[in-house]
Amino acid sequence: MTFKLAASPHSHQRRTTQQVMRWVYLALIPGVMTLIYFFGWGVIWQLLLAIATAWTAEALCMMLRGRPVESAWRDHTALVTAVLLAISIPGFAPWWIIVIGTAFSIIIVKHVYGGVGQNIFNPAMAGYVVLLISFPVQMTSWPLPVQLSQVDLSFLDSAVLIFTGYTPSGYDIEQLRMGADGMTMATPLDSLRTALNHQLTIDEALQQPIFGSFAGLGWQWVNAAFLLGGLVLLKVRVISWHIPVGMLLGLAVPAALAWLFSPDQSVSPVLHLFSGATMLGAFFIATDPVTAATSKRGRLYFGLLIGFLVFAIRTWGGYPDAVAFAVLLANMTVPIIDKYTQPVVYGHGGRT
């Protein structure tokens, strides 16, 4: 028997960064296709703008750092960041929204900290939060699901709306958000918050047409599709179960308790799990290996923290969906989680 001597680290990485990222964006396809089906062609235009901006910003940063541009493009990390941000914003948001957000994610959040593997915050979610705080009107103007919309927009009509602010027929985004009753409609979570602020009960709020069979027309199936993609990532072992399960439990358990003790003012845990960006966050955002905890136990705690923060912000905070804020807040706790959950080094009796 012969032994091969090699320098540390001695662990063998079975997949390259390029292979992992390829699995991630392939697993995103069901969710993206469902998003396009329910919310129109604008999603594709946002994806194209985000990818073009991400590749341009990545190339610029690599040239300024004296690094080969081709290696950055080949690892697909910029592509995944662009896709995650593009599908997180309204499909008909003005073109400059996605350009600013993607450039910020790549240049500031990723490369200012040293590039791949060095950033402490999730780039896509940091870009999303900057956009949401800076441009709240544009970032909360989600279009109606196609099934409720009074205007049918083609692929080219969507481009005209994104680049000019109006459709060829003269409609703007606010007019496109109006239902048959002439009322401007919002996302399910935003509609619930507005209804509760107007002293309506949950049952009264759920009578709005934006709510589907259990969690919101369109949104429930988008989340189901991202859940399917996430299960694929688990199956091929690109991600482990600890963060997704932790996040979903951290959200579902307090939601179930609130629903049990205050059903008139709290929604069911099913609606929490299948509305907004819950499944996208659990399987594709929180699982970012660079900004998440490292040990298995630490990842479980990290996921539980994100889930609870999502519930807390949705319930008492100022924003209807809270995944981005929860992920960034949890990113800040990673050093302390790692400190107390990493295994003790062999030969040492305790932690220092």
Range of the domain at 176: 41-142+149-184
Given 184, 209, 240, the domain boundary residue is 184
Q: Are residues 234 and 313 in the same domain?
A: yes
Q: Is residue 333 part of a domain?
A: yes
130 lies in the same domain as 256: no
Q: Does 71 share its domain with 202?
A: no
Q: Residues 129, 80: one domain?
A: yes
Instruction: Give me the pLDDT at residue 86, please.
Output: 97
Identify the sign of the CA torsion 332, 338, 340, 341.
Answer: positive
Do 293 and 317 share a domain, yes or no?
A: yes
CB 111 within 8 A of CB 61: yes
Closest listed residue to residue 299, CA positions, set 312, 288, 308, 310: 288
d(CA 115, CA 310): 28
Output DSSP code: residue 184: B
Query: Do 221 and 328 sit in the same domain of this protein?
Result: yes
Do 190 and 320 reside in the same domain of the chain?
A: yes
Residue 202 lies in a domain: yes
Q: What does the pLDDT read at residue 30? A: 96
Quick check: is 216 in a domain?
Answer: yes
Task: Give the 3-state secondary structure of residue 152.
Answer: coil
Each of the 352 residues of the chain gets a pLDDT tens digit; together they read 454 544 444 444 567 888 888 999 899 999 999 999 999 999 999 999 999 999 999 999 989 888 887 776 778 889 999 999 999 999 999 999 999 999 999 999 999 988 888 889 999 999 999 999 999 989 988 888 877 777 788 999 999 999 999 988 888 888 777 754 444 556 778 877 777 777 777 777 777 777 766 677 788 999 999 999 999 999 999 999 999 999 999 999 999 999 999 887 788 899 999 998 999 999 999 999 999 999 999 999 999 999 999 999 998 887 878 999 999 999 999 999 999 998 766 655 555 4
Residue 211 has a pLDDT of: 72
Do 192 and 335 lie in one domain? The reply is: yes
345 found inside a domain? no
Does residue 261 lie in a domain region? Answer: yes
What is the count of structural domains for the chain?
A: 2
Assigned domain for 16 exists: no
**Are 126 and 219 members of one domain?**
no
Tell me the C-alpha to C-alpha distance, in Å, between residue 134 and each of 75, 138, 346.
Answer: 30, 9, 49
The 10 Å CB-count burial string (b at 16+, else e) for 65-80 is eeeeeeebbebbbbbb
In angstroms, what CA-CA distances link 3 with 6, 236? 10, 30
Same-domain check for residues 175 and 303: no
Q: Please identify, among 160, 184, 208, the residue that sits at the C-terminal boundary of a domain.
A: 184
What pTM did the predictor assign? 0.88
Residues 176 and 282 in one domain: no
**Do 317 and 257 contact (CB within 8 A), yes or no?**
no
Q: Which residues contact 256 (CB under 8 A, 6 or more apart)?
A: 268, 269
Whole-number pLDDT of residue 3: 45
Shared domain for 165 and 104, answered yes or no, is: yes
